[in-house]
Amino acid sequence: MYDVKSMKADEFISHDEILETLKWADENKSDLALVDSIIAKAKLKKGLSHREASLLLACDDKERLEEIYRLAKEIKLDFYGNRIVMFAPLYLSNYCVNGCVYCPYHAKNKHIARKKLSQEDIVREVTALEDMGHKRLAIEAGEDPRNNPIEYILESIKTIYSINHVNGAIRRVNVNIAATTVENYHRLKEAGIGTYILFQETYHNESYLKLHPSGPKHDYAYHTEAMDRAMEGGIDDVGLGVLFGLELYRYELAGLLMHAEHLEAVHGVGPHTISVPRIKRADDINPDDFDNGIDDETFLKIIAVIRISVPYTGMIISTRESKSVRARALELGISQISGGSRTSVGGYAEEEEDDENSAQFDVSDNRSLDEVVRWLMELGHIPSFCTACYREGRTGDRFMSLCKSGNILNCCHPNALMTLKEYLMDYASPETKEIGEALIRKELENIPKENVRKITGERILKIENGERDFRF
């Protein structure tokens, strides 16, 4: 029985409701009047239900698809402007007791190099990340109560926040670790984490059990209900995601949006972010072994449909994707990307040739952060290192209400320019700096409120003279 407010995984992600949704979408996808009415609703920019979104995803009318892309671009610009928030993943440990068949860290992989960063290693890694210019990290660790207990994660977060190298500082640590207890979520909250991210991988219960044959992650309900426990533990920014390629993408989209609807219905706040990873080659993992791989066009359509269905939710894409796919995805709604990423444990500080030995997946975009920043600016985006909302306590429903009121735009744009200026002063190559300075001069003029424009201009001058860390 489907019940959006139920606290039971198989009721708020009801298999029957998904099947009925997909059947209804198939039966009605050629009803262009219905498709048009859903697109008209999406134009109100208040989102779509999982049924409505599923119908748009099923529709293959070219004209309507163009309209969906156009609207996704418009919503992206309305809610996020031309800013793209930058972050980097930091792998703490690849010890893992789970058996996920799509991940090379699965416990049965005996030949992959197992590594766990000591606190001294973390200092080296974070110093290297700060030297690149990063301010926002997503820490990643396998599930292993003996090697990676919660105390290790908490100590690592403390270490990360304590490192200030020259002008560098990590100002927001997002956490991507296994589903855990309310008490442990509470401890993570106390440690000052930003978003708690946990990918569902797949919402299809039966496939989930096959893809996770062993380890605590095998428990579908415990995994799927994790975000409710995280919110109960006081974490109000949570990040969802599925690993596209494991199951039918239309099933996953319906499940993902039902999960978002559930969080909103029960906790009054939807997901802070949605990530859209696709399965990739890595160590003993061959993506061709999975039947449900999606091509680039389908992938971009999914991104656009998510964008118009949950306009207030940030969307994240990683270096799993190539430069060209990332360029198109940015237009259609992505608001956060990683840059200069290493997907191995210790990958930032260690020698290049050791890097791939412990990698979770192969990176398709190998450019440095400086190159990614320059490329973004050349495409007309503003790379932003902003972490202001979290540090001003604008999380959860406070963030969402500000976002829904449209007022966030008065903070984001100037914050992006100020943090970009810091980046240009401290880390950029001369070429990137030149492009960036011109961009800041031009974009300053686009701040609508005169007093905000004036204060931003003054602060940018102060940054040039050595001061740091201004925010609205």
DSSP string, 32-83: HHHHHHHHHHHTTTS---HHHHHHHHH---HHHHHHHHHHHHHHHHHHHTTE
Q: Kindly write out the interface string for residues 186-225 of this chain, putting x where it contacts ligand SF4 by CB under 6 A and - elsewhere.
A: -------------------------------x--------
Q: Which is nearer to ligand SF4, 85 or 440 (CB)?
A: 85
User: Which DSSP helix (H) or strand (E) runs through 25?
Assistant: helix 15-28
- 412 counts as binding ligand SF4 under rule CB under 6 A: yes
Phi-psi label, residue 409: left if phi above 0, alpha if psi -120 to 50, beta otherwise: alpha
Judged by CB under 6 A, the stretch of 15-23, 54-62, 202-210, 408-416 that binds ligand SF4 is: 408-416
Judged by CB under 6 A, the stretch of 13-21, 102-110, 221-229, 433-441 that binds ligand SF4 is: 102-110
Q: Which is nearer to ligand SF4, 193 or 389 (CB)?
A: 389
Q: Which is nearer to ligand SF4, 100 or 139 (CB)?
A: 100
When binding is defined by CB under 6 A, the residue of 408, 420, 424, 425 that contacts ligand SF4 is 408
- 98 counts as binding ligand SF4 under rule CB under 6 A: yes
Report the 10 Å Cβ neighbour count for 66: 10
- 100 counts as binding ligand SF4 under rule CB under 6 A: yes
Report angle CA 348, 351, 357 to the nearest 5 degrees.
Answer: 80
The answer to whether 310 and 76 have CB atoms below 8 angstroms apart is: no
Distances (CA, A) of 112 to 108, 197, 352: 10, 25, 17
Q: How many residues does the chain have?
A: 472
Judged by CB under 6 A, the stretch of 66-74, 266-274, 290-298, 382-390 that binds ligand SF4 is: 382-390
Distance of closest approach, residue 89 Cβ to ligand SF4, in angstroms? 12
Residue 419 backbone phi and psi in degrees, to 5 = -75, -30
Q: Which amino acid is at 458?
A: E
Q: Which amino acid is at 363?
A: V
Residue pointed to by tokens 């995280």: 230
Which residues touch 231 (CB under 8 Å, ≥6 apart)? 238, 263, 266, 267, 269
When binding is defined by CB under 6 A, the residue of 92, 103, 332, 337 that contacts ligand SF4 is 103
Judged by CB under 6 A, the stretch of 93-101, 303-311, 321-329, 431-439 that binds ligand SF4 is: 93-101
- 177 counts as binding ligand SF4 under rule CB under 6 A: no
- 432 counts as binding ligand SF4 under rule CB under 6 A: no
Q: What's the token pair of residue 433?
A: 């700096």
Partners of 175 in beta bridges: 139, 196
Distance of closest approach, residue 408 Cβ to ligand SF4, in angstroms? 5
Q: Which is nearer to ligand SF4, 257 or 386 (CB)?
A: 386
Contact residues toward ligand SF4 (CB under 6 A) are 85, 96, 98, 100, 103, 105-106, 142-143, 178, 217, 384, 386-389, 408, 411-412, 415
